[in-house]
Structure 1
């Protein structure tokens, strides 16, 4: 079934044509990112190989190679026969958390701050453009994303809802390239940002920040939207740095 609370603009970015004769590893990374972020839901059927090739503007054999790599990673399963096809298989939470904790341990504080700077700049730029370009439909999707986070039960659903919120901000900027970069950054640092967890106070603060960002976008106040988005990301990175130091210090 399709992933919930995701705008058509955000999903189109997943299947947008690749640039410069896209290769199998590019397709693999893009689809793996979308699965990790929840833009492609567990159990969802992917388009057929010919349809994917047509959407991405690559050869069918390139798509076949990418799907084979995704199967090898355990991110899709392929069923033969009537009603068959390739279906998304989202990783188990325990498996994913352990892998993320190992990755966080191996990063340095400098690595995290560099990632955080990149992500904060991206989030701020997307919010600024969204304030200038968003349509009433975009604002509706943003409000839905805010409410999805507020009503999400459990860390896994909150992580996906938070990630989708940021993707929707980028989608509201009316830039497929920016949306794809947001998806890539979400999958690179987004899961790490949720490793520290979020107590009730933190969840309420995140909810308030989401609402303030959307309000600034709706008011067409780009400077405020950008500042709030940057602060939102910077705070999350600081929580992650604290967790990292706890993992590496004896």
Structure 2
């Protein structure tokens, strides 16, 4: 691999070395920012701790400790009983989770990752439209159905990641899928919990992409992929939209 090549750039420290908080504070910052932005509404019940841990790629104990800390800070509250669980506080205390500022400081890196994903996703969709096997298209259709039935953002995220990695595998180029996965997983470290309404719209784009793959239409597939990533910039990463775009 020659210096300055696209693959070298993807593996450069700018991708892997984004300044991060520790795992506990990252979870606190992401959930607190989602509350501050109104993505999680007062009184809204959060998913089970295990689902949050999987969606945010941390251990269950870390997720539990983060939720306890946010309850102590007045962002969340814990209720017992059949209708209980962890909920957004009726009047969440804003401005107490200072780690949000450190999360926003990484906005320039996140926007660069989104740009890289845009490039890779268009190419991946284009190739998958030519190379996807019938069983892969069937798997993608099943994943779209699972996302339609998801009960919360954490469950949706699990199926979303599998969907995009299945599209990458459908290119028939393992090395390209590996590079796409590298960017996707790094970017997922920064996404915020989103309302299901946003995610349902995102899943409509997934369905459009599957149709383009089934029709063997590379240009349409690339067009859908481009629109999908740009929409995610405005929704999944909405808390960073005003930060770092020109960094």
Q: Please classify the TM superposition score into its range, dividing by the shorter chain length.
A: 0.5 to 0.7
- Which residue does the alignment assign to 2:204? 208
Question: Does 2:123 correspond to 1:125?
Answer: yes
* CA displacement at 1:179 relative to structure 2: 1.8
Residue aligning to 1:188: 186
Distance 2:124 2:66 in 1: 28
Q: 1:139 aligns with which of 119, 137, 140?
A: 137
Give the match for residue 231 of structure 1: 227
Runs of at least 5 residues in structure 2 that lack an aligned partner in the other structure:
1-15, 17-56, 71-98
Change (3 A) 1:239 1:103: farther
- What's the offset of the Cα at 1:214? 0.5
Q: Which runs of structure 2 are paired with 1:99-118 in the superposition (5 Å)?
A: 104-108=103-107, 110-118=108-116
TM-score normalised by the chain length of structure 1 = 0.55
Structure 2 residue aligned with 1:91: 59
Select the residue among 172, 175, 186 that pairs with 1:177: 175
Deviates more, 1:238-247 or 1:152-161: 238-247
Q: Secondary structure at the match of 1:147?
A: helix
**1:112-137 Cα shifts (integer Å, max 9, x gaps):** 32111100111111110000011111
Q: Is the 8 A contact 1:146 1:211 kept in 2?
A: yes
Q: CA deviation at 1:206?
A: 1.0
Q: TM-score, normalised by structure 2?
A: 0.56
Q: CA RMSD in A?
A: 3.2
Distance of 1:105 and 1:95 partners within structure 2: 22
More helix by share: 1
CA contact (8 A) 1:105 1:247 kept: yes
Unaligned segments of structure 1, at least 5 residues: 1-28, 30-88
Contact 1:112 1:237 in 2 (8 A): no
Q: Secondary structure at the match of 1:143?
A: helix
Aligned residues: 159
Q: 1:247 to 1:117 in 2, by over 3 A?
A: closer
- Pick the aligned partner of 2:213 from 212, 217, 227: 217
Distance across 1 between alignment mates of 2:65 and 2:131:
40
- Out of 229, 239, 243, the residue aligned to residue 239 of structure 2 is 243
